[in-house]
Structure 1
Amino acid sequence: MSRPQRPPLPLALLTLALWQAQGAFAQEAAWIDAPLQLRRTPQLVETIPTTERGLRPSFVDGDRISGRPDLETVVEGNASLRRGDTVIRADRLEYYQPDDLAKAQGNVRVNQGGNVYEGPELQLKVETFEGFFNNVRYQFLETGGNGNADRIDFVDANISVARHATYTTCRREDYPGWVPAWLLTAATLTTDTEESVGIATDARLSFMGVSSPALPSISFPLNNQRKSGLLPPVFGMDSVNGIELQMPYYWNIAPNRDATLTPTVMTKRGINLGSEFRYLENTYSGVLRADYMPSDQLRDRDRWGLWTTHNQTFDPKPFGLDGLAGTLRINRVSDNDYWRDFSRTPTLSSRLLDSEASLNWAKGDWYGQVRALSYQTLQYSLSPITPPYDRMPQLTANNIQYDWNGFDVSTSLDYTRFKADSQYAPLLNGRRQPDGERAFGILQVSRPWITPGTFVIPKVQLHATSYQFDGPLANGSNSASRTVPTFSIDSGMVFERDTSLFGRSFRQTLEPRLFYVRTPYRDQSQLPLYDTAANDFNFATIYTENAFSGNDRISDSNVLTGGVSTRLIDPDTGAEAARFGVAQRFRFSDQRVTLPGVSPVTDRLSDILVGAQINWTSKWTADTTVQYNPDSRRSERSTITARYNPGPYRTINAAYRYQADSSTLANDGNKSIDIGWQWPLNDLWGDKGKNLGPGRGEGGGRWYAVGRMNYSLKDSKLTDGVIGVEYDGCCWIGRVVLERLSTGQVSAATRIMFQIEFVGFAAVGASPLKTLSQNIQRYQPLRQPGETPSRFTNYD
């Protein structure tokens, strides 16, 4: 296969790739943004003493064998010597037993636990693996790395030193003039398989004919284990921060602890110092991350961020509990603009940063939680948000009894103190809501009657709530209470029949369902709203008793919900090929309990929900939900999603979303299209590639298009976008990705990520793989670390 020509790589990139003097890269997974896996401290492992290893038998074979007993053995023609995991093959082999010395000439091949060495002449002490090999070609099992050397000196079974050596992970082709795409040359190349590290002196890296300057010493991994040292440098361009250069240092403290220090230079801002510490023990684990930027040039102030998570289990368990576990989570940043300025921090996912300390307990049929929860709200003048209330503290207890004399009984108890910044506390009846305490209990008793084809489940609920406020309400009261009963009955039937559609046999179901709720009216207009909002209208909430989430409002209801669904089920596998459903709610009386500023519902018939989910084959998936208003004869909300995934590295996801504008009858609500993809461009000219297995790509010389576009049809603009290409060159991978993220109504951040990964060796540039994985459903990296190959995969 001819090697395609590519533009030369700038010399600076090769220099950065080699800039690892006096340190070893962390495992290859770090280069592709896969998490380094911590391991608990290993147990002691019994090893075989050297004297016992020396007793392992040797086996020789060949066309002609001669020699003297207990002195020497000479094998000529197809000669081989095998001991343990070491095999020596040659045209001629001499073995001297007193010195345990093997001398081999002519087409010599040594296989040591899957690592292969080939050349014309070998001298080796077999048991200690001491000796030398002249004019040798070698290949390592774990990385696929290979190369040539004038001579290799074997120090022992783990350490070898190659003189005037080369190293690459490109595959050798048997035709004249083959040149690997990238090649490391070194005066000496020392490999230590026990430490899984290679060290090269006077080293140069060449790529596509461009060579880097020589460096005195560099190190690189021989497998996927974690190693202390400098990680590959990361550089990129960002419209907010300018040109960025990171030089991470990884410290492998222990199998269950590690740390990463990441200084970052931003041309428009200054220097950011990042750090991350991770730990893993039998009863606790966690991550601590801190960033600090002194004197940000754009904001003219110091910037910092702190993110930490600690998980703890207690053993032995105190107080006679069956289980006790704790969590501590801290998320805090220096200012409101942090989420817009530093897009690669955990802050970007939310402008509400929660910090929480909690204890979860269990005792018999009871379980609960004690926690304190506080929020930092990152306000933005163009898009302000109302922060939720802090819970300082919250205590819960829950109990569930199934089939207690035929009844299911559950109890929920909760005490919470709510606290908020008075500046952002929501208005209630024209004044700010006061902070306060709320205690409530919910008792539920149901009696299910279930048969193979029917179910009837009547249920009675009792909600009791008590409030104490720090200040008076609009009516002057400092306390309030509420008790609300609810009765509901859920019923349905399941019919089945065998059918055939489009040449396939199915078991089709027809499942009608009726759900009735009766809750009397209680005046709750004076009660604050600490954690309550209206439920979304969908198939999950239309069959629930309360129209609100949270516990500050219990809706008055005299409502009957009717619906029917049908499913197509593969009778052989039980897989659901399709599901269709429709549901509508009928209201017998007007709604009276509402949220502030929201008009009560007076329509007797609700909107109609229509939904479909189709998984006809493993390649195609479609899901759609439509909320249709029969009075206005228009859709209030529609969502259509589809995914085509015919094979590895091939996926297309598309979604259309529509939300009607309630202020007008015109059909001009919010509309958006969201499309994401990963697809081999070679498919366009008929090259379908090869299935080389998970995490190995589809062969060299293949281009892949990747991206995601979220486009607002109402505003006629791109809100968020990721677009790029990947190229798989077998032993190297190139990636270029452009990302645009909206950080406000009129602002956006744009950055370009460019990376070259030398497979099994190093990577330079800003990795876009985390961005691609977050934005593209079912995105597959072209390389993923797999299990360490067994020596039997290269068995002689």
Structure 2
Amino acid sequence: MRKPKAKIKLLTLSISSILYSFYSYGEASNVIFNDINQHQQNNPDFFLQKKETNNENISDNQCLINNNVPDNGYKISAKQANITQLNNQKKQGSLVTYKGDVVVKSNTMIIKGDKARYNSLTQNAIVKGNVKASDSEVNVIAKQISANLKSKTYQSDQNEYTGRCVPMRGDAQKIIKSNVKGTEFYKMRNGTLTTCPSDDDSWKLVATKITRENDTPFADLYNTTFRVHNVPIFYLPWMRIPVTNQRVSGFLMPSVSIGSNGFGWTTPFYFNLAPNYDFILTPTIYSYRGAFFQGYFSYLTDGWGSGKLYLEYMPQDKLYKDKKNLFGYKLNHNYLSADNHWSFSANYSKVNKGDYFINNNLSLLGSDGTYYLTQTATSKYSDTNWNLSATITKYQSIQNSDINQLPINNYSLLPQIEFNFYDPNYLPNQLNYKLHADATNFKSEFSNAPSAIRLNFNPTIYLPLSTAPWWKLNLSTTAYSSYYQQDIKNFSPTDPEPGEQNLEKNASRVVPSFNISGSLYLDSNSAPIQGYSQSFEPRFQYLYTMNVDQSSIWNSYNYTKYGGYDSVKKSLGYYDLFSDRSYAGSDYYAPENRLSLGGTYRLFNPLQDEVFNFSLGQIFYNSSQTLYTIPENATCQRPGCSDPTSYQTKFSTTALQTNVKITDNLKFDNSTQYSFKLHQLESFNSTLRYSFDDDLYFVAPSYTYISRDFLYNTNPNNYNLGLYSKDPNSKTNYGISQTGITIGGQLSNSINLNATYFYDLNYNLLAQTSLNLNYSSSCYTLGFTLLRRLNDSWWMTDTDETISQADDERYENVYMINFTILSLPGMKNPTIGTTSSETPLYNYVDPFNLS
């Protein structure tokens, strides 16, 4: 069975290496000193061997891991040696005294000192004065080392040690090796351990005794105190830690925090369950919230992939008394066969209560969407020209009971089977053919929602008339054919719209569609700026989709309040203008008779770097297509808007996208949609980014505007957009108008900063502000986090009166100071997702896509 890749490298106390080296000293030195006894009379210069340079010294910075090197005994060299015969009635021996640059060496270790003494009668050897010992894993500086070669025991006094292959060091009053009935034991008295560099004692473990039995992968620490800047933080009478790279159960390094949840203490424990799976239990105690437990299980199967399981549990929230026994978990599993044909993936998240995340900023689970957790698994087989997949997807609502009935279209797929086929040589005369087919069983967690079994069969034939580098022309035709078997016996909308009872138990449709698209690429070495070059890329698309009655199917067009199994209306950004669908999903195929026109202009500097692009496009409808479905209280900005027919238009919003590289450090990005029919701005999103010092720091102010009519048109079942008021100045008629700034950078090699500030101009109040400051040293990190943002419940208000009550209770305030010990490389506490308290409402992403 294959072993999994190491997820964690545990804390290693490498005194094992020097202890092993001293063991070799006792084992091998008999050969040398017996040799001394035999040759000392005839060859007194034996002790004055010339120093060898090929293996005399092991570099302090060199990491040598080779415990299988044969031991050929020890050699002793010095500037001078004096031999004194020892007279004994039963035994004859000698006392050898070495002085000046004494070196005792073997193939595995070296001991140096100012002087040494060996008693061949008792087989005691003592090295004193500036004693240094090195082996493949550890360096030791000691006052003296005493060893008995017969009993294979030793003692070193007043030691300082450093790891050769791991960043750790410490000191000890004594290191002792003993032998009890053939079993060897090692002890360290009054020892310390830290991963900080030699000039930094930020933290350390202090123990009165450290013991290790020979060949075991761990050491036991007794009366252990954890100290930060020599201040005792906690005490454990006993703890066990690994001393080799072999994985063993034991405590990992702790961390502490102080913040809005109070004082937090985290002490992970690692369970080495088997070579191919392990588990980490991470209990944390918060003074304000109580106990919070996290578990992380990772595994590797024999031929069935690998995965990880994250769990969390809170028995009782001291701050919110009604929250008890909160439990949640997330499973990820992935598999890919050796021949790359079969694959399997699973992503399953679940919590035991619908309001699990409300007032719970400790959870690391997060949500895949605003109102639900996703539970999905997919198995797929892929070949050269086709693939077949089966997917099961469920959603768990994580809302409070007041809005539990709104996301009626969050349908589970139990299951969805998809087939895709593509073969450019399937048809003659350069015709290309592709096919998409699926069979889906839709189920909703809401009892009054319809459910269905849907069969789709969508063949497409397309002909590439040209694929030349400077122009392209393609023709395609698709037949969207579907069959539905709908269960509508329990369907009873709380506020039915006219025609909602037109749903049929059995419904079918075939929607033909034709598409012709083309583009040009025109470039020139002359440009408005001397030395620059430019290009222009016009493109067009004509799309015709037959108008077919689809009112018998539960879709998001005929049932705008909350209809559709998997369909939703698309937005109309520049690149969306050339899509072959107005609705995502397969429940509704909008009738199309439209022409999309657009183009992109690019400007290149003399180095051929793109410094400017500008894209502009619009859709022209050739039928009585109605783009807007706006209620009577829409906020149109011109006379006559009270007439609903005034919203019928034969052209879409005009979409604009631009990126500008003003200088190497200053960039500008903007996307805009404007309705000439309604004489109003639909959406506007703009960011200016300035970076300096080789992009180490940046400042990015931004502004976002989305009109309320545009929001309603693209997503009419959004809970915050279904609120209307007869008062045109009512705040419930607002859309989104927010400005903000993000700054960040690496202030030094150790300090990083990120801060955001977003202000809502409609409501004239702060939407969110955050500050993250992090200091990292070689042995610990210290972080400061401050977050203040509007609660999710603030956006769910339904009256102007409650909206105006923007007091502190409507804000979530999170602050935290976190101190984490850094141990050996790779040792980290694994997490899944991000804490909800650190997830901003508006994430900053570098939006610039200049090539």
TM-score (norm 2): 0.69
Q: Compared with structure 1, are the counterparts of its residues 196 and 341 closer, same or farther at alpha carbon in structure 2 (3 Å cutoff)?
A: farther
Partner of 2:437: 413
Amino acid at match of 1:713: L
Q: Compared with structure 1, are the counterparts of its residues 586 and 137 closer, same or farther at alpha carbon in structure 2 (3 Å cutoff)?
A: same
Are residue 144 (structure 1) and residue 159 (structure 2) matched?
Answer: no
Amino acid at match of 1:336: G
Deviation at 1:365, TM superposition (A): 2.3
Deviation at 1:353, TM superposition (A): 1.9
Partner of 1:380: 400
Post-superposition CA distance 1:280-325 (Å, at most 9, x none): 22423333444455577746575443434253648699xxxx8333
Are residue 639 (structure 1) and residue 674 (structure 2) matched?
Answer: no
- For 2:658 and 2:109, how far apart are their aligned partners in 1? 61
Deviation at 1:413, TM superposition (A): 0.6
Partner of 1:744: 792
Deviation at 1:79, TM superposition (A): 5.5
Deviation at 1:151, TM superposition (A): 3.0
Deviation at 1:279, TM superposition (A): 1.6
Q: Secondary structure at the match of 2:709?
A: coil
Which of 674, 678, 683 is equivalent to 1:628? 674
- For 2:98 and 2:70, how far apart are their aligned partners in 1? 24
- For 2:348 and 2:605, how far apart are their aligned partners in 1? 48
Deviation at 1:676, TM superposition (A): 4.0
Which of 572, 576, 583 is equivalent to 1:541? 576
- For 2:668 and 2:215, how far apart are their aligned partners in 1? 51
Q: Compared with structure 1, are the counterparts of its residues 275 and 523 closer, same or farther at alpha carbon in structure 2 (3 Å cutoff)?
A: same
Q: Determine which structure has greater relative contact order: mean sequence separation of CA pairs < 8 Å that are 6+ residues apart, divided by chain length.
A: 1
- For 2:187 and 2:174, how far apart are their aligned partners in 1? 8
Partner of 1:14: none
Deviation at 1:451, TM superposition (A): 0.9
- For 1:660 and 1:628, how far apart are their aligned partners in 2? 10
Q: Compared with structure 1, are the counterparts of its residues 532 and 111 closer, same or farther at alpha carbon in structure 2 (3 Å cutoff)?
A: same
Residues 236 and 766, structure 1, Cα contact 8 Å, conserved in 2: no
Deviation at 1:706, TM superposition (A): 3.7
How many percent of aligned residue pairs carry the same amino acid?
20
Deviation at 1:398, TM superposition (A): 0.9
Which of 304, 307, 312 is equivalent to 2:329? 307
Q: Compared with structure 1, are the counterparts of its residues 422 and 594 closer, same or farther at alpha carbon in structure 2 (3 Å cutoff)?
A: farther
Residues 757 and 764, structure 1, Cα contact 8 Å, conserved in 2: no
**Structure 2: runs of 5+ lacking an equivalent:** 1-6, 12-64, 84-93, 490-499, 556-564, 633-643, 711-727, 795-809, 847-851
- For 2:471 and 2:96, how far apart are their aligned partners in 1? 84
Deviation at 1:450, TM superposition (A): 0.6
Partner of 1:35: none
Amino acid at match of 2:738: S
Partner of 1:111: 134
**Structure 1: runs of 5+ lacking an equivalent:** 1-24, 30-46, 174-178, 426-433, 684-688, 690-696, 780-796
Q: How many residues align?
A: 697
Post-superposition CA distance 1:515-572 (Å, at most 9, x none): 2212222222332121111111113321111111111111222222222223456898
Partner of 1:565: 600
Deviation at 1:490, TM superposition (A): 1.6
Residues 253 and 822, structure 2, Cα contact 8 Å, conserved in 1: no
The CA RMSD measured in Å over matched residues stands at 5.1
Are residue 670 (structure 1) and residue 670 (structure 2) matched?
Answer: no
Post-superposition CA distance 1:413-449 (Å, at most 9, x none): 1111222245563xxxxxxxx3222211111122222
- For 2:212 and 2:788, how far apart are their aligned partners in 1? 43
Post-superposition CA distance 1:591-614 (Å, at most 9, x none): 169989898974333222222235
Post-superposition CA distance 1:374-395 (Å, at most 9, x none): 2222233565541412222222
Partner of 2:495: none
Which of 457, 460, 472 is equivalent to 2:474? 457
Partner of 1:331: 349
Amino acid at match of 2:624: D
Q: Compared with structure 1, are the counterparts of its residues 155 and 300 closer, same or farther at alpha carbon in structure 2 (3 Å cutoff)?
A: same
Moved more, 441-450 or 357-366: 357-366
Deviation at 1:730, TM superposition (A): 5.3
- For 1:508 and 1:271, how far apart are their aligned partners in 2? 63
Are residue 356 (structure 1) and residue 385 (structure 2) matched?
Answer: no
Partner of 2:823: 760
Deviation at 1:628, TM superposition (A): 2.6
- For 1:231 and 1:501, how far apart are their aligned partners in 2? 64
Which of 583, 590, 601 is equivalent to 1:555? 590
- For 1:193 and 1:640, how far apart are their aligned partners in 2? 66
Amino acid at match of 1:658: Y
Post-superposition CA distance 1:345-375 (Å, at most 9, x none): 3553242122234432235522122233222
Amino acid at match of 2:459: L
Q: How does 1:437-516 map to 2 (within 5 A)?
A: 437-448=453-464, 449-471=466-488, 474-475=501-502, 477-498=504-525, 508-516=534-542
Amino acid at match of 2:439: Y
Are residue 399 (structure 1) and residue 399 (structure 2) matched?
Answer: no
- For 2:96 and 2:661, how far apart are their aligned partners in 1? 68
Q: Secondary structure at the match of 1:760?
A: coil
Deviation at 1:512, TM superposition (A): 1.7
Deviation at 1:672, TM superposition (A): 2.1
Partner of 1:656: 703
Q: Secondary structure at the match of 1:474?
A: helix
Partner of 1:186: 207
Moved more, 302-311 or 493-502: 493-502
Deviation at 1:493, TM superposition (A): 1.6
- For 1:129 and 1:538, how far apart are their aligned partners in 2? 79
Deviation at 1:256, TM superposition (A): 2.6
Q: Secondary structure at the match of 2:578?
A: coil
Amino acid at match of 1:524: Q
Residues 167 and 184, structure 1, Cα contact 8 Å, conserved in 2: yes
Residues 503 and 552, structure 2, Cα contact 8 Å, conserved in 1: no
Q: Secondary structure at the match of 1:335?
A: coil
Higher relative strand content: 1
Deviation at 1:117, TM superposition (A): 1.5
- For 2:786 and 2:463, how far apart are their aligned partners in 1? 58
Which of 751, 774, 783 is equivalent to 1:735? 783
Deviation at 1:411, TM superposition (A): 0.2
- For 1:97 and 1:466, how far apart are their aligned partners in 2? 97
Deviation at 1:670, TM superposition (A): 1.0
- For 1:370 and 1:301, how far apart are their aligned partners in 2? 38
Partner of 2:32: none
Q: Compared with structure 1, are the counterparts of its residues 135 and 411 closer, same or farther at alpha carbon in structure 2 (3 Å cutoff)?
A: same
Which of 629, 632, 649 is equivalent to 1:603? 649
Deviation at 1:501, TM superposition (A): 10
Q: Compared with structure 1, are the counterparts of its residues 611 and 640 closer, same or farther at alpha carbon in structure 2 (3 Å cutoff)?
A: same
Amino acid at match of 1:511: E
Q: Compared with structure 1, are the counterparts of its residues 300 and 182 closer, same or farther at alpha carbon in structure 2 (3 Å cutoff)?
A: closer
Q: Secondary structure at the match of 1:662?
A: helix
Q: Compared with structure 1, are the counterparts of its residues 401 and 534 closer, same or farther at alpha carbon in structure 2 (3 Å cutoff)?
A: same
Partner of 1:134: 157
Post-superposition CA distance 1:655-681 (Å, at most 9, x none): 43211232879996412235444445x
Which of 305, 320, 323 is equivalent to 1:284? 305
Q: Compared with structure 1, are the counterparts of its residues 555 and 777 closer, same or farther at alpha carbon in structure 2 (3 Å cutoff)?
A: closer
Q: Compared with structure 1, are the counterparts of its residues 220 and 613 closer, same or farther at alpha carbon in structure 2 (3 Å cutoff)?
A: farther
Residues 236 and 751, structure 1, Cα contact 8 Å, conserved in 2: no
Q: Compared with structure 1, are the counterparts of its residues 526 and 222 closer, same or farther at alpha carbon in structure 2 (3 Å cutoff)?
A: same
Are residue 520 (structure 1) and residue 546 (structure 2) matched?
Answer: yes
Which of 621, 626, 631 is equivalent to 1:587? 621
Post-superposition CA distance 1:619-671 (Å, at most 9, x none): 66653212233455553212223554756874555543211232879996412
Moved more, 658-667 or 362-371: 658-667
- For 2:585 and 2:513, how far apart are their aligned partners in 1? 16
